[in-house]
Amino acid sequence: MDKLSSLARFKASCPYLGRTKSSTLRTLCTSSSPRFPTLSRLTEKATQCPVMGPALATRSGQMVAGYASVAGSVDVKKLHQEKGVVIDSDDIAKCPHASKALAAARMAEELSAAKKRTDALKVQRAASQPSTSRASSPAPTGCPFHAAQAAQASSTGAGPASAHAGGFDYDQFYAAELQKKHDDKSYRYFNNINRLAAKFPIAHTANPKSEVEVWCANDYLGMGNNPIVLETMHRTLDKYGHGAGGTRNIAGNASWHLNLEKELATLHRKPAALVFSSCYVANDATLATLGSKLPGAVYFSDSSNHASMIQGIRHSGARKVIWKHNDLQDLEAKLKEFPKETPKIIAFESVYSMCGSVGPIKEICDLAEKYGALTFLDEVKLHLSSSEYSQLLMCPSQVHAVGLYGPRGAGVAEHIDYEVHKAAGQSPDPIPGTVMDRIDIITGTLGKAYGAVGGYIAGSTRFVDIIRSYAPGFIFTTSLPPVTVAGAHASVVYQKEFNGDRQLMQWNVREVKKRFAGRGIPVVSGPSHIVPVLIGDASQAKEASDYLLQRHNIYVQAINFPTVARGEERLRFTITPGHTVQQLEHVVDAVDDTFSVLGIKREADWAAVGGRCGVGMEAKESLEPIWTNEQLGLTGINAVVPKTRLAGEPKQVDMRAVRIARANFDHLLGSLEQQQPVSVGLGSMAGLKMKTGIATTTEANFVIPAAVPTAVTA
């Protein structure tokens, strides 16, 4: 019974124990192996396990060595005296210690024999099966990592590195863990995609001559190749070089970082902001530090929060209470359980990137004020107020929202009070009563809509200073290079001043969703810019992604578990203002063909089986887009439909926003004179005379006045 109790404790972590009935385990545990009498049948079975097999061999060797060390010492007589053992013959079996040593030795021998037998059977099976079988190849032949390893082993005549002598077989453990990913079809394959600045959204694969359309990049607005961004980065690189030179505390705290933080604080109308190397680090470091410093703090975490938030809460050591996704009643019920004076933090997102759902920020703020809690909104993902968007889901992270929502791009929290913030212009002052002002802590990313890299937090001056002073993830990390920070800063300024990219992107999103619906392509319903196409099977999702790439030169990544639940696998499309009319038509035709060729379920097929993820459901809810017709400029006397670019047409660049962005860097890079407009090739900077005097003559994709430096100040 003791053995069975021990086994029960490990059923959750061992696949074999977990799927085997208790009655079967009892039989295996209590009966001896017919081949190896000192072993139970369960122990013999365990020698086949990549984890337990080596562990059993190691442990048995340790036991033998332990008994031998005592048996060979002068303490044997003393041991016999203490145990009352009298040895009056040469029969070693009469010595209890010696008999245990012999039994341990026999068990070690039989464990070794069982292991050798298991290995021999594997080799025998491998020899009798095709080379593509699992026995001969732990990973599928399509796996690039195992293929490369096999090629290297073949060329050198050597196999994988052997395990440490007598120790744990690490490589075998790694292989077994990776095999699990292959078996459940969740193994991740990374495609070699190289985005071309001059041809966005075109990229080339490993072969520079093989070009594809990118339909899943997070550079939502194409700011990674915006001319003012590239111009600023080139000029900064020439004057300040590449690296930052150290952490923020040691030589890495430059005007570039301080100016960007001031800009981000102004964007969210908060007193202060702090820049991190990524939004993951920003969330992890902030939540970990805040929870560890606040005495007796309790986190209330949405069940669908991003991994970075989950990790930060875990690292804080604070108590965590998980509330049901988007369930305000559940959140309030859990808040009621704690005294109002207990420090509490409600952590949520604004837009969930894989489903495009948005959350009721306003109502969460109401609960926070009622129960004395701080609000931590991640605008990297996306959130909304349920009173204004009752159909939307909730979650205050702005990672997938910042830059894309609001008249200035400050995220969903700004978008909720769209007209109020629009009227306030670029004032840095908070607007009392607005949702963005009621949020205590906002986190965002520079790596998506702004086309750069990095993350940040914004909040009160003292809060930001606490994180700056205590967060290891900030203190002990080399700061971002000036050239990167400069590009991000230029991008933020440009998007604060120009709303056209956001409006055109949202219009293109509407068009693609409408055309998919017309073909019966199952799109998971949501009000945001995310276009998730439901596949419902991991293997088919990967197959669809491969088919689109190989047959139609369209790159869209399959999204599988654990990013989404099993059975909810999908293709996640992101539509940008840079996609042309022809490309929109192409992607709809290509996806339609893919569904037909591979036999993937369409909307009607999902309806026939009861639906999934809101697709094919009887009571399907109609979700209005976050961007209204009025906000897109589709109504009123000055109504204008955003114009999707035609192939070969120049990309829209707002010169007013360019001039304002340039002016932000005059004090560091020197002022620039405007000359007559000249052609500039995206990415190549053709015809643009920068501080270095570099100029090329690539075919133009848009028109922008070139700049010549007139003065450079220190």
Q: CB of 230 within 8 A of CB of 224?
A: no
Q: Which two tokens stand for residue 644?
A: 């999707």
Instruction: Please tell me the distance from the alpha carbon of residue 41 to that of residue 3, in angstroms, as a whole number.
Output: 13
Count of all residues that appear for the chain in the document: 714
Q: Which residues are CB-neighbours of 217 under 8 A, at least 6 positions away?
A: 195, 201, 574, 576
Nearest CA to 569 out of 389, 369, 354 is that of: 354
Instruction: Please report which helix (H) or strand (E) contains residue 706, including its range.
Output: strand 702-709
Q: CB of 438 within 8 A of CB of 375?
A: yes
DSSP 599-625: T---HHHHHHTT-BTTBT-TT---PPP
| Cα 425 → chain centroid | 33
- The sign one gets for the Cα dihedral 563, 569, 571, 576 is negative
The structure tokens 């399509």 sit at: 142
The structure tokens 């999702």 sit at: 541
Indicate the SS3 state at residue 270. coil
The structure tokens 């047959």 sit at: 551
Distances (CA, A) of 436 to 86, 396, 416, 440, 442: 85, 11, 9, 9, 9
Nearest CA to 377 out of 459, 496, 322, 296 is that of: 459
Q: CB of 228 within 8 A of CB of 679?
A: no
DSSP 194-223: EE-GGGTTEEE-SSTT-EEEE-S-S-TT-G
Q: CB of 441 within 8 A of CB of 374?
A: yes
Q: Which residues are CB-neighbours of 648 under 8 A, at least 6 positions away?
A: none
DSSP state of 225: G
Q: Which letter, b or e, does each residue of 492-502 get, where b requires 16 or more Cβ atoms within 10 Å of its Cβ?
A: bbbbbbbbbbb
Instruction: Please tell me the distance from the alpha carbon of residue 705 to that of residue 227, in angstroms, as a whole number.
Output: 10
Q: How far apart are the first and last CA of the chain?
A: 79
Instruction: Please tell me the distance from the alpha carbon of residue 491 to that of residue 485, in angstroms, as a whole number.
Output: 10
Instruction: Please tell me the distance from the alpha carbon of residue 74 to that of residue 92, in angstroms, as a whole number.
Output: 17
Nearest CA to 353 out of 380, 323, 375 is that of: 380
Instruction: Please tell me the distance from the alpha carbon of residue 511 to that of residue 634, in angstroms, as a whole number.
Output: 14
Instruction: Please tell me the distance from the alpha carbon of residue 559 to that of residue 569, in angstroms, as a whole number.
Output: 6
Instruction: Please tell me the distance from the alpha carbon of residue 675 to that of residue 91, in angstroms, as a whole number.
Output: 106
Helical H runs in 447-555? 461-470, 472-475, 482-497, 500-518, 538-552
Instruction: Please tell me the distance from the alpha carbon of residue 526 to that of residue 536, in angstroms, as a whole number.
Output: 17
Residue numbers annotated as active site: 448
Phi, psi of 499 (to 5 degrees): -95, -10
Question: Residue type for 174, please?
Answer: Y
Q: In sequence order, what are the beta bridge partners of 211?
A: 204
